[in-house]
Chain A
C-alpha cells in the first residue's frame, strides 16, 4: 500500500531558503509552505477520523506512525474484520451469557439424555439431559477468560523478563536463557497432569497459572530477540548520548520499537491457550464442575460420539471457531505491523 504521507510536500524545499539567509523568507515562499502544510494536514485529518477518538488530536497524531498505519491497514483487511467481529461476539457472550442463552445450563432433565436437536433446543441434549446450546454459551466465559488472562500473564511476564535480558545482556541474560530452556523442556501435557493434580483447583486460576508458567518462556524469547534488535538502533545510542536514563531508554525508545512481534505472538498464543485448557479439561485435570467449559463438555461427549455426535460437535465447533478467530486476528495484526509487508 502506498503511504500518502510520503507524498507530503515536505520538499517544497525549505532548504532552498537556508542559503538566502534563513528566517527572512520571501513572502511568496512562506505562503507556499503554509499552503502545503495545510494541505498535508487536511489530508491527515481526513485519514484519522476513525471512530473512538474524534476530539483527541494528540492521541490521533501519536497513533499515526506505527499504530496509525497498522489501524488503517487493518480496517481494510476482511480477515481482521471477520475475526474482530467474532471476538467481540465471544466477549459479549462471556460477559452476559444469559442474553444469548435460552435458559440455565444447570437446568437438566435426565429424560432427555442424548436427545438430538428439537425446536427450542437447537443443539440437542447431553448425557445428563442438559441443553447443549446453553452449556456451550455458558462455557464461553471460562474458555475465553482462560485464553485472555493466560495470554496477558504470559505476555507481561515474558516481556519484562525477556526485555530485561535483552537490554542488559551479560550474566542476567545467561541465567534467564537457561531458565527458559528448562521450561521449554517440560512436556506440556505431562507437566499439566502433574502440576494441576497437586494444586487444589476450584476455579480457573490454577489453570491460568499453569499456562502462564509454561507460556512465558516463548514470549520471553521473542521479547529478548526484538529488544536486542531494537537497542542496536542508532536512536538508542543517540538517546543515551543526550543523557537519557536506562529506564527512559527502555520504555520510550526500545519497547515501542520491540513490541510488535510480541503482540503478534501473543495473539496467536491466545488461541492455542484456549485449546490447551480444553485439552487439560479433557484429560480431567483442567476446569472442574460446576465450572462449565468447552473442554469439559468435549471430554464428557467424547465416549458418546457414535450415538450422540451433536454433544461433541457443538462445543468443539465453537472452540475451533474461537481459536481460529484469535489466530486470524494475530495474523492480521502481524501483517499490519510489519512495514515490509505494506
Chain B
C-alpha cells in the first residue's frame, strides 16, 4: 500500500540578504494512515520548515522549495495549482501550532474561528457553523462548550487553547495532521493530557500524524517511528523501539544522553559540544563532524549517504532503518571511540 504522505529528497532554501540558507537538504520520510512519525531535532534543524513546505505555507519569498517531491494520497503537491492546494489544506491535511495563544486570532471568538473551517470548505451557514463549533469543542473535551463558544482566546487557559487549536485542525477530519511542537508552550501535566487527547483522536479517525518536537520524552510514548534531523537532513530514521535501544548515529546518541535521568541525579548532565551549524555555511562532509566524538578525517571530506542499517548478518531490518553516519556500525554496537 502506498504511504499517505511521502516526502522525497525535499530541498528548501531561504534566499536572504547574507546568502542562501539551505534549510532543508534532501529530506525523505513517509507516514501511513494511523501512523505517528516523530520528527526530532534542535532549533534550526529544518523540521518546521519541512512541515511548512508540506503544508504549502512557507513564506515565499524568502523561502523556496528547490527540489524533491511531496506525494500526498498519490498526488505530488508541488505540481498542484495554488487554489487546488489551498482546498487541500484544512480539509485533507491540517496543522497544529506551537503557541495556541498567538495562533488564535485575538479579535475573533473561538466559535467563529472553529466555524470558519466549515464556512470556508463546506459553505455552511453561520448557524450551522456555530453548532459545529460547539460539537468540536465537546469533542476535544472543553467543558461547558455551549456557554464558552462565544468567548475569546484570551479567556481560555493555555491547555484549553491548545485543545481549541486541535479542534480546528480536526474540524474536517483530515487524513494527515502535522503538529509542530504542540506541547512546548504547556506545563508538563497539561502536556500529557494534550498528547493523550491527540493519540485518542488519532485512534478514532485513523489519521496520519507528524509530530515535530525536540522533546524525547513526548516521543517515546506516542510515536511509531522517529526521524532525527540535523542541519536540514535526516541523520537517522528508525522505529521508536530501535532508536531508544541502540541509536545508530552519534547525534541521536548525544540527544538521548542529554535527557535528565533520575538514576543519574547529582551528576553533571551530558550536553552535545558546540553549536548547530550556520545554515549559510554548512561544513563539508558530515554536517555533524565538528561536534562528533567519533569524527575522523573521512567525515570532514565525504558527506555520508543514508546507509541502510542491517543486522549482524547483513540482512535489512524490518521495519527498515537508516543512518547517515559512516560509522553507524560502531555506533550501533556502542564501541568505544
Contact = CB atoms under 8 A, between A and B. Distances in A.
B95 A252 contact: no
Interface in B55-101: 55, 57, 61, 86-91, 94-95, 97, 99
B116 A238 contact: no
Contacts of B159: 15
Contacts of B89: 240-243
A15 B157 contact: yes
A41 interface: yes
Given A18-B141, A62-B109, A233 B190 contact: no
B103 A238 contact: yes
Contacts of B156: 10
Contacts of A37: 144, 147-148
A79 to B, nearest CB: 25
Interface string A1-37: 0000110101101110111001101000010011001
A233 B193 contact: no
A243 B120 contact: yes
A3 to B, nearest CB: 9
B108 interface: yes
A25 B144 CA distance: 11
A30 to B, nearest CB: 8
Nearest to B83: A245
A234 B102 contact: yes
Contact of B106 (A8, A241, A257): A257
Contacts of B154: 5-6, 65
A23 B139 CA distance: 9
B241 interface: no
B105 A245 contact: no
B8 to A, nearest CB: 22
Contacts of A237: 57, 97, 103
A65 B157 contact: no
A242 B143 contact: no
Given A234-B97, A238-B97, A243-B120, A18 B142 contact: no
Nearest to B106: A65
Contacts of B61: 170
Interface in B117-176: 117, 120-121, 138, 141-144, 147-148, 150, 152, 154-157, 159-160, 165, 168-169, 171
Contact of A243 (B86, B102, B107, B157): B86
Contact of B152 (A14, A23, A64): A64
A235 interface: yes
A39 to B, nearest CB: 11
A61 interface: yes
B193 A19 contact: yes
A14 B104 contact: no
Nearest to B165: A238
B220 interface: no
Given A62-B109, A65-B107, A34 B157 contact: no
Contacts of B57: 237, 240-241
Contacts of A6: 154
B242 interface: no
Nearest to A11: B157
B90 A243 contact: yes
Contacts of A156: none
B197 interface: yes
B257 interface: no
A33 B144 contact: yes
A324 interface: no
A313 interface: no
Given A10-B157, A240-B89, A61 B105 contact: no
A17 B169 CA distance: 22
A27 to B, nearest CB: 13
A244 B95 contact: no
A6 B152 CA distance: 11
A14 B160 contact: yes
Nearest to A240: B57
B196 interface: yes
Contact of B90 (A11, A14, A170, A241): A241
7 contacts: A10-B160, A235-B106, A237-B97, A241-B55, A241-B57, A243-B120, A244-B120
| A-B interface, 3 closest residue pairs, ranked by CB to CB distance from nearest | A243-B90, A242-B90, A243-B89
Given A237-B103, A252-B105, 6 more contacts: A15-B159, A15-B160, A17-B143, A242-B120, A243-B117, A243-B121
